Amino acid sequence: MIAKISSGKDTAGLIRYLFDAKKAKDHTDPHLVASWDGFAPDPGRTDDFTATKRLLVADLDLRVKQARRLGRAPERHVWHCSLRTATTDRRLSDEEWADIARRVVAATGIAPQDDPDGCRWVAVRHAPDHIHIAATKVRGDLRPARHWNDYLTADRELAAIEKEYGLLQVVRGDRTAARRSTRAEQEKAHRQGRDKSARERLRTIVRTAVAASTSTEEFIHLLSRTEGVLVEAVYFPSGDARGYKVASEDNLTAGKEPIWYSGSTLAPDLSLPRIRARLEATDSEPANQPSRRFSRSPNPWHQATAATERIPHHLSGHDDGASQAHLAAFGEALDALPLLAPAPIRAQLREAASAFERATRSRIQAEHHHARALRSAIRAMLREPTPGDGTALAMFLDAAILVTIAATRWHQLRHHDQQVTAAQQTLLHLQAAYDQAAAPLTALVRHRPPQPTVDRHVHHIRRAVPAHSEQVLADPAIAALTAALAEAEALGHDPERLLRQAADQRALDDARSPARTLAWRIQRVSARPTPNARARAAQAHSAARPDGTPSTPAHEATTVSLPQPRAHRR
């Protein structure tokens, strides 16, 4: 059940509209179902409609006129709330609507239960699926009604009503969602032949710029060079950016003034202070300077995949601030993927990023420093060429699917209904994108090793992952796994050790295809040089540490030139 609440100045005008059955064709049989005292005159049940309507308006406005003489009446003294059931809900009786109306005015503070000085109100039913509550916001003691946060209090009461009456339980939010496009914005987009409004397009552009930036200066620079976008930044006397606003060039090309949107009106987390907090929590290294512990820069795609694979573990912990940070960083990764992916799957990835945007925010405040590794890897990915064979992208998407499943569970436990729905929608798009990106596995199967080699690797699988061996061997992707093991063995790797390492670094319980998961992991690890005896001893020592933390931390990739969007005419 959905509530819409507004305020106004004209009691007579509202009552006239609610009982109008001529101009409003959807109004049928308007009548009262409840009122403040149960005896209010009902214009819908009398022969003299005009006189009864005047009498009802006078009764409702009585206290307003009294308070006005004392200078206490609020300027917008009319409170209007409409309540509508879903199309799939059963038809409620007048008595049931009356009970619902009493509960709503009590919950919102308009007429608290057992309060003789509550405001005067009536509930009008003029359609089968909804009612309107009209009230005047002056109490019997001539004080203004205390109805702050009435939308939230009404929504909480409606959630209880839905359960008790067996109605459709509406997915409710926590007021952290991005503002929806107005009807005018949607109609304008339709006239222009666009699928999305200017607000939605600008939101996507801004989020992508955040994912690609390492500082607020670079963020504003990227926006200003994006085609079709106008940007204005506001600066402090010190020269630091204080805020920004963006607009689409559509109006400008049509000879009209641009419609500007500040970052906070696009989404709560796109204000400049919130963006700055995220960017300051991103590790960065000087350009062209190699990592101190590695002679060459690690592959940023491998780093991003490794950081993504750790997110389900973080979400299973007790630090909600860290979990929220990892979800926000994962959302940035999805924002960046369409810039890096092959053309055939970009549309699915854009839809995935757009859907998961809602799942990146909640009332929990993110501690962004916890997600530095993934954010840094994202920036490095944007400065590296797209992987030629798509293997790195497929591995990342495989990890992203499990993160989305874990995010759904995390939000479910915290009753974040809108975020759960968003994560579920994201999962569908990611699975579709992964199915297209997983083509390298098909090529791998073509190099199926001889049967004796397959049997030997089956033995390795049973020894290395005994808890999941039957599940892995029954997987249709087992041929790809044995082929990956054969290739790794030819490069000098120990297949059994690789299997253990792959199983330890990636949970198989939730994997859609454990054999495919192991194959991706083994392909990635086997691409590295074969470890020597000293390196293997160090790995064994790290694995034996009580805290289970690796001895070598992940480092970020060297920064090179960022792919720039085309410049607009400004």
Residues in a beta bridge with 245: 232, 262
Residue 567: what pLDDT? 40
CA distance 305 to 527: 15
Asked if pLDDT for residue 151 goes beyond 80, the answer is yes
CA gap 92, 101 in Å, rounded: 12
Average pLDDT of span 371-376 = 93
How would residue 286 be classed by pLDDT, with cut points 50, 70 and 90? very low
pLDDT surpasses 90 at 440: no
Least confident of 321-330, 349-358, 454-463: 454-463
CA distance 404 to 334: 11
pLDDT of residue 298: 75
pLDDT of residue 507: 62
pLDDT tens string 258-279: 999 999 999 999 999 999 999 9
Q: pLDDT class for 569, splitting at 50, 70, 90?
A: very low
Mean pLDDT, rounded, for 417-431? 95
> Average pLDDT of 166-176?
87
Asked if 440 contacts 469 with a C-beta cutoff of 8 angstroms, the reply is no
Say what the pLDDT of residue 208 is.
95
pLDDT at 45: 92
Mean pLDDT computed over 301-316: 91
pLDDT of residue 553: 36
**pLDDT per position as a tens digit, 515-555:** 888 887 787 777 666 655 555 555 555 444 444 444 333 33
Q: What is the pLDDT of residue 419?
A: 96
Whether 426 has a pLDDT exceeding 90, the answer reads yes
- pLDDT of 506 over the 60 cut: no
Alpha carbon distance 206, 401 (integer Å): 24
Euclidean distance between CA atoms 101 and 124, whole angstroms:
10
**pTM for the full model?**
0.74
Rounded to the nearest angstrom, the gap between the alpha carbon of residue 566 and the centroid of all alpha carbons in its chain is 28
Q: What is the rounded average pLDDT of the residues 322-343?
A: 94
Secondary structure element (H or E) that encloses residue 372, with its range: helix 372-381
In 3D space, the residue among 311, 464, 468 whose CA is nearest the CA of residue 396 turns out to be 311
pLDDT > 70? residue 60: yes
Sheet harboring 229-235: ordered strands across?
229-235, 241-248, 260-262
Cα 394 to Cα 301: distance, rounded to the nearest angstrom: 10
- Which of 162-171, 486-495, 519-528 has the highest average model confidence (pLDDT)? 162-171
Q: Convert the pLDDT of each residue in 456-482 to its tens digit.
A: 999 999 999 998 889 899 988 888 889
Residue 322 CB contacts under 8 Å (≥ 6 apart), including other chains: 314, 367, 370, 371
Burial of residue 311 (CB within 10 Å: 0-12, 13-18, 19+) is buried
CA distance 74 to 374: 53
Q: How far apart are CA 437 and CA 433, in angstroms?
A: 6
pLDDT, one tens digit per residue, over 178-211 is: 988 888 899 999 998 999 999 999 999 999 999 9
Check residues 515 and 145 and name the one with the higher pLDDT: 145
Percent pLDDT > 70 in the chain is 85
Mean model confidence pLDDT for the chain: 86
Q: Show the tokens assigned to 381.
A: 């990915």
Among the listed residues 25, 22, 14, the one whose alpha carbon sits nearest the alpha carbon of residue 123: 14
